[in-house]
Amino acid sequence: MAEAVVTPLRPKRPCPECGRASQRATFPFCSPRCKDVDLNRWLSGAYAIPVRDDEDDQENQGLAGAEPDERLTRP
């Protein structure tokens, strides 16, 4: 009888914290410790999503002269 070939559902990736093989229970991390280290970095502000200041300035300039009611209804 021929053996069935089992293909993984997703490719194996290393743990983003330490580089070891990731585990199913803590994916994409290798252990609860690495998972907690990453969470701590997000909560402490070590990781941040960059914001481009020029986009915020353009939005604020368009609404600067508007009346308060227009600011709420204007897209």
Contacts of 38 (CB under 8 A, 6+ apart): 16, 17, 29
19, two tokens: 């580089």
Residue with tokens 């410790």: 33
Q: Supply 55's token pair.
A: 């986009």
Binding positions for Zn(2+): 15, 18, 30, 34
The annotated binding site is made up of 15, 18, 30, 34
